[in-house]
C-alpha cells in the first residue's frame, strides 16, 4: 500500500525546527543512505511515496564458459535468471581478489557510480559478455557480479559466479635454478640463473607464506589481477642473465621466500619458483642489554632534532626503544609502565623490532630532560634489565620560544605506507547479448 504526502506538509515539517532557530526555510530535500546521497530542490518535488517490497530481488548468475573470439578478444558466457520479473540488473566482471573484498553495500555503491553501465530487463539463458576495456590475464580467477534492482530502481541483492582464465602455453619450459650464496642473521644472498627457454625473469622477497597474502592485500588497491603481475611490478626490473642479489635489514631466525617469475620469449609467464631461506639466529643465552648514547642536538628548519644511539650487546636477539619526557615518566607509570610498554609487540610499527644499532632521531624541545628507554631479550626469549638513560637537550637561541614538549616524541624518519590507488574496473563498454 502506498502512502502519499503533500510536499508542502513535508517542507513545513522539515523547516519547523530550523526556522525557529535561524528563520531560514530549507529549500533542498536531502536523502542519505548507505549506498548514495541524493538532493532535490523542494520546489521541484511533486510528492513523496512509500512502498513495501517483499521477497528476494536477485539476478542469479551462472558462469558457462570463457573463450577468445577470432580477434583474440575475451568473451564470457553466462546464464542470468531474475527472481522477480519486474526487476532489472547490472553486471560486471572483476578480478576475484578485488570482488571478494566488496560486500553487497559496497557493490551497490560501485554500480551506482557506473552511470554509463546499462541495465538489463530480461533473463539470459546464454548471455555473451564482450567489449571489455582491459584484456584478461591468463591463469587468473575472475568473478562475474550482478546487482539486481527492483521496479523502483532500488539496488537489492548481489549474485556472484567465479571462473578462471586458462593458462597460456609457454614457448618451451621457462624456469630458473638458484644457489644460496650466503646467509647471516640479517641478510641473505642468492644467485638465480635462467634456463634456455627463459627470456627474462622477475623476483621479489617476502616473509615465508606472505607472497599470497601481499597479493590479496595490495592487488585490489594497485590493480594486480594475478600474483604474477604483482611480482613483475614489485621486482622493479627484469633480468636476462644470471643475477646475484643480497637482501638486507631482515629479522634473525626468520623464514623468508623469494618468488621468481620466469618469462618466455613471447612474454608469457612460466610457473612461479619459490626459494626458501632462513636467516641465522642472533644473540646468546646470557643477559641481553642495551646502552644509550646521546648524540647531536641540532636545529633543522623550524624545529630541533636530537639523536640517541641505542647499542645492543652480543647477547641480544632483538630490542625495543623509545624516548620519554622525564616529567611525564612517573605520570605514565614509571619503570613498571616502561617495561610493560617495551615488552609488547607492535607489528604495525616498522621501527619497533630492532636487531642492531638504532640511531633514534626525534623532534625535541630545547632545555628539556628526557629518558632514553630500551629493553632487550636474548636468544631464549628472556628480557634483560631496563635501560633508562637521562639526558637534557641543549638551549634554544636567545629570543626563541621553545615548543611544548611531547611526552613520547616519535621518530622523524619513518617508513611510509604504499599509496593506495583506486582499481579501474575490467569493463567499460561491456555488452550482454542473448545467444
Residues 70-82: tens digit of each pLDDT: 888 999 999 999 9
Question: Dihedral sign, CA of 208, 212, 215, 217?
Answer: negative
Check whether 393 has a pLDDT greater than 80: yes
Average pLDDT, whole number, for the chain?
Answer: 86
Residues 27-60: tens digit of each pLDDT: 878 878 777 777 878 888 887 878 888 889 999 9
Residues 232-250: tens digit of each pLDDT: 999 999 999 999 999 998 9
Residues 253-297: tens digit of each pLDDT: 999 999 999 999 999 999 999 999 999 999 999 999 999 999 989
* Whole-angstrom distance, CA of residue 284 vs CA of residue 379: 5
The pLDDT value given to residue 420: 26
Residues 395-406 have a mean pLDDT of 61
* pTM, two decimal places: 0.65
Check whether 227 has a pLDDT greater than 50: yes
Report residue 21's pLDDT band, with 50, 70 and 90 as the boundaries.
Answer: low
* Whole-angstrom distance, CA of residue 191 vs CA of residue 243: 6
Residues 306-333 have a mean pLDDT of 94
* Whole-angstrom distance, CA of residue 10 vs CA of residue 42: 9
Contacts with 135 (C-beta within 8 Å, 6 or more apart), sequence order:
74
Residues 357-376 have a mean pLDDT of 93
C-alpha cell at position 418: 604504499
The pLDDT value given to residue 406: 64
What are the chain's domains?
Answer: 3-50 (no CATH), 59-167 (2.60.40.10), 176-278 (2.60.40.10), 290-392 (2.60.40)
Residues 96-150: tens digit of each pLDDT: 988 988 889 999 888 988 878 899 999 999 999 999 888 898 899 999 999 999 9
Check whether 14 has a pLDDT greater than 70: no
Check whether 418 has a pLDDT greater than 90: no
List the beta bridge partners of residue 176. Answer: 194
> 113: part of which helix (H) or strand (E)?
helix 104-113
Angle at 403 between CA 400 and CA 407, to 5 degrees: 150
Check whether 416 has a pLDDT greater than 70: no
* Whole-angstrom distance, CA of residue 270 vs CA of residue 167: 9
Report which listed range, 177-191, 388-402, 412-426, is most confident.
177-191
* Whole-angstrom distance, CA of residue 204 vs CA of residue 232: 8
Amino acid at each position: 500500500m502506498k502512502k502519499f504526502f503533500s510536499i508542502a506538509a513535508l517542507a513545513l515539517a522539515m523547516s519547523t525546527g530550523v526556522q525557529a532557530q535561524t528563520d531560514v526555510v530549507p529549500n533542498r530535500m536531502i536523502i542519505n543512505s548507505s549506498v548514495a546521497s541524493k538532493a532535490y530542490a523542494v520546489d521541484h518535488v511533486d510528492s513523496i511515496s512509500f512502498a513495501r517490497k517483499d521477497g528476494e530481488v536477485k539476478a542469479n548468475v551462472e558462469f558457462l564458459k570463457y573463450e577468445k573470439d577470432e580477434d583474440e578478444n575475451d568473451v564470457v558466457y553466462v546464464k542470468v535468471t531474475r527472481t522477480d520479473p519486474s526487476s532489472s540488473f547490472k553486471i560486471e566482471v572483476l578480478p576475484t581478489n578485488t570482488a571478494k573484498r566488496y560486500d553487497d553495500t559496497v557493490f551497490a555503491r560501485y554500480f551506482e557510480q557506473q552511470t554509463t553501465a546499462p541495465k538489463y530487463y530480461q533473463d539470459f539463458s546464454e548471455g555473451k559478455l564482450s567489449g571489455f576495456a582491459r584484456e584478461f590475464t591468463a591463469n587468473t580467477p575472475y568473478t562475474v557480479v550482478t546487482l539486481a534492482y527492483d521496479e523502483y530502481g532500488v539496488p537489492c541483492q548481489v549474485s556472484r559466479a567465479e571462473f578462471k582464465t586458462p593458462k597460456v602455453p609457454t614457448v618451451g619450459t621457462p624456469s630458473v635454478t638458484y644457489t644460496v650464496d650466503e646467509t647471516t642473521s640479517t641478510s641473505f644472498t642468492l644467485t638465480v640463473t635462467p634456463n634456455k627457454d627463459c627470456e627474462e625473469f622477475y623476483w621479489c622477497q617476502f616473509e615465508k607464506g606472505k607472497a599470497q597474502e601481499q597479493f590479496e592485500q595490495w592487488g585490489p588497491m594497485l590493480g594486480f589481477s594475478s600474483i604474477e603481475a604483482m611480482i613483475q611490478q614489485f621486482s622493479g626490473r627484469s633480468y636476462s642473465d644470471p643475477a646475484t642479489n643480497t637482501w638486507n635489514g631482515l629479522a634473525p631466525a626468520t623464514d623468508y621466500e623469494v618468488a621468481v617469475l620466469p618469462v618466455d620469449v613471447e612474454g608469457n609467464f612460466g610457473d612461479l619458483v619459490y626459494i626458501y631461506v632462513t636467516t641465522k639466529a642472533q644473540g646468546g643465552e646470557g643477559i641481553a642489554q642495551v646502552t644509550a648514547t646521546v648524540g647531536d642536538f641540532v636545529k633543522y628548519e623550524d624545529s630541533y632534532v636530537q639523536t640517541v644511539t641505542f647499542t645492543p650487546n652480543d647477547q641480544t636477539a632483538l630490542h625495543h626503544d623509545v624516548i620519554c619526557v622525564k616529567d611525564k615518566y612517573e605520570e605514565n607509570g614509571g619503570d613498571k609502565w616502561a617495561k610493560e610498554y617495551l615488552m609488547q609487540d607492535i607489528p604495525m610499527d616498522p621501527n619497533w623490532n630492532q636487531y642492531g644499532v638504532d640511531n633514534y632521531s626525534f623532534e625535541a624541545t630545547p632545555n628539556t630532560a628526557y629518558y632514553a628507554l630500551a629493553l632487550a631479550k636474548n636468544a631464549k626469549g628472556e628480557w634483560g634489565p631496563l635501560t633508562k638513560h637521562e639526558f637534557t637537550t641543549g638551549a634554544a637561541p636567545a629570543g626563541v620560544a621553545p615548543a611544548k614538549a611531547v611526552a613520547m616524541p616519535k621518530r622523524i624518519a619513518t617508513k611510509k605506507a604504499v599509496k593506495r590507488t583506486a582499481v579501474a574496473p575490467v569493463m567499460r563498454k561491456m555488452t550482454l547479448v542473448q545467444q
